[in-house]
Structure 1
């Protein structure tokens, strides 16, 4: 009996060494979670009367439990590398079905999908047209590899200060080619529906009547409508047009694009002091843009950045947590699959409920404590040696009995 008991001890010690070796081997594996062995004693019968007079029959490996504690976060500088700080798994979809991982090393395949090293696709809650996310469905995260479409300029915001003591120009009839026919001018870039840029120039002419100015708009040196009157009160505040809004007639940019229907907001224009000043020139149009980068917020919103200064939300990273993560089936490549023991996944957004936050440009390292594993290795080695000594002692006793005359 002692041979069998010691043999079970050897097997247990060997299993413990195997698990320790696995932990040590993966000390630098991204997203790896260390394991520990749980052992149980073995008896021939569970009957209390017999158990009281019968020695045990050894030990067995009861379970291999994983420790889902936080690993260290290492910064990489790659925006598609994602680390989870807290609970949760990334949700992946691939040929083997749905898997879950803590390894956030992602890249882009030739079709623009964000994938891991096994070509499994990262799952997100897709973006809706109203800026929200469809949390009830999952979609593959795909980067927008086409150009961002242009937007035609329709409105602008002009913030100027026109000098209160400006003289009436010496040339009576306005002519943009004669600086003596106007007091001040400023320009800004606007865009048509095809994304072609045009130069819009605003000329300001002091009227003979007090606190009144005439404003002219030229696009690419072509006039747009007639003069528009800007009137101020004695405190220098704009009184007309109403709400400071000037609407111009349609202008054909001559590029095959739709007519420009411009509306300029002069509500922030004033008539103070002695100097002409430009405080703000803003317009709502932009040209086409190429994708220049990807940003991921700490709550998982993935946005594409474009060369025209625009950004587009592509989705929100779908996180999963389980009631019993130790029940997950290990699939290799630091990924897990759902089982009956783990329960179904609860999907959610990073930073909400029990879900951890995301760190872009970083990876979660292994949670293996190398010092603790070396101590575990020494302990398992001692256990193995003790069981081999038990077998040796049992062998000597058996030999002594056989040699009895």
Structure 2
């Protein structure tokens, strides 16, 4: 009975963490560039009083073992880096990555961070920065008095100055890729940090060597599907309820044994 209670309790604990993951996905359904998480489960250690293949007689062996699982746990949360839908904003400084890759920005301590949120703004000195004021690693500055800004699919940034007809190239936005983007560490504020699991950052030209193209005047929406998350939430709730019923059943069985045996 104690093992049954323990196993069911571990099941409830795992489903509770899964609900936490789902709630975070739903909370970020409108977050620019957000990537949904998925809880990954693994079984706990099995108790094997008898293993398969042990002798059952003089010349015979058991074809199957006699083992009982002890529950489940959440091994980790996997980030799903599928493409979110592109939302047209018509803002010249909004840039979406259509494909793989991240924008590299510089943190206040000098270290790089990576984001899919391309809602750029101009700082007081004309630099392209994020909404939090973090500058691009490439350090692109728009000249004062620029009448228009053009960002090509390969990341080339051009500005047309007042009184001029020809655009002037002022820099190029690069796209950074990782061998295992799911291994990036989320830091909040739509930012990720490189880890040993993600691999080394590989900066390159947008549209080349697997890097995505840039789309000016658009932002990438969250890849969270509200319908799918609600379905997952219902399934998780049912699994939690079933484990709770197992605890009730085990408790009733223990009471019967205590009172009648």
Same fold (TM over 0.5): yes
Q: Indicate the residue corresponding to 1:57 in structure 2.
A: 70
Which of 352, 356, 372 is equivalent to 2:208? 352
* Structure 2 residue 96 is matched with structure 1 residue 109: no
Q: SS of 1:303's equivalent? A: strand
Shift of 1:346: 1.0
Cα 1:106–1:11 change in 2 (3 A) is: same
Shift of 1:49: 2.7
Where do residues 7-22 of structure 1 align in structure 2 (5 Å cutoff)? 7-22=9-24
Q: Indicate the residue corresponding to 2:38 in structure 1.
A: 36
Where do residues 87-106 of structure 1 align in structure 2 (5 Å cutoff)? 87-96=100-109, 97-106=111-120
Unaligned runs of at least 5 residues, structure 2: 53-63
Cα 1:398–1:360 change in 2 (3 A) is: same
Higher-strand-fraction structure: 1
Report the Cα distance in structure 1 between the residues aligned to 2:172 and 2:50, rounded to whole angstroms: 58
Report the Cα distance in structure 1 between the residues aligned to 2:101 and 2:174, rounded to whole angstroms: 10
Report the Cα distance in structure 1 between the residues aligned to 2:148 and 2:28, rounded to whole angstroms: 32
Shift of 1:52: 3.2
* Structure 2 residue 158 is matched with structure 1 residue 143: no
CA contact (8 A) 2:47 2:68 kept: no
1:205-258 deviations in Å (ceiling 9; x for gaps): xxxxxxxxxxxxxxxxxxxxxxxxxxxxxxxxxxxxxxxxxxxxxxxxxxxxxx
Report the Cα distance in structure 2 between the residues aligned to 1:373 and 1:48, rounded to whole angstroms: 41
Shift of 1:114: 1.1
* Structure 2 residue 91 is matched with structure 1 residue 78: yes
Q: Indicate the residue corresponding to 1:123 in structure 2.
A: 137
The 4+ residue runs of structure 1 with deviation greater than 3 A are 44-48
Q: Indicate the residue corresponding to 1:394 in structure 2.
A: 250
Shift of 1:82: 0.3
Cα 1:46–1:118 change in 2 (3 A) is: farther
Give the length in aligned residue pairs. 246
CA contact (8 A) 2:97 2:220 kept: yes
CA contact (8 A) 1:327 1:342 kept: yes
Q: Indicate the residue corresponding to 2:82 in structure 1.
A: 69
Larger radius of gyration: 1
1:273-300 deviations in Å (ceiling 9; x for gaps): xxxxxxxxxxxxxxxxx31121101110
Which of 226, 239, 242 is equivalent to 1:383? 239
Which of 293, 301, 325 is equivalent to 2:156? 301
Cα 1:46–1:65 change in 2 (3 A) is: farther
Q: SS of 1:32's equivalent? A: coil
Report the Cα distance in structure 2 between the residues aligned to 1:397 and 1:324, rounded to whole angstroms: 49
Unaligned runs of at least 5 residues, structure 1: 125-139, 146-289
CA contact (8 A) 1:327 1:341 kept: yes
Report the Cα distance in structure 1 between the residues aligned to 2:150 and 2:93, rounded to whole angstroms: 8
Shift of 1:304: 1.4
Where do residues 2-401 of structure 1 align in structure 2 (5 Å cutoff)? 2-44=4-46, 49=51, 52-96=65-109, 97-124=111-138, 140-145=139-144, 290-309=145-164, 310-401=166-257
Higher-helix-fraction structure: 2
Report the Cα distance in structure 2 between the residues aligned to 1:46 and 1:61, rounded to whole angstroms: 22
Q: SS of 1:403's equivalent? A: helix
1:89-141 deviations in Å (ceiling 9; x for gaps): 111112152111111111011122211122111123xxxxxxxxxxxxxxx12
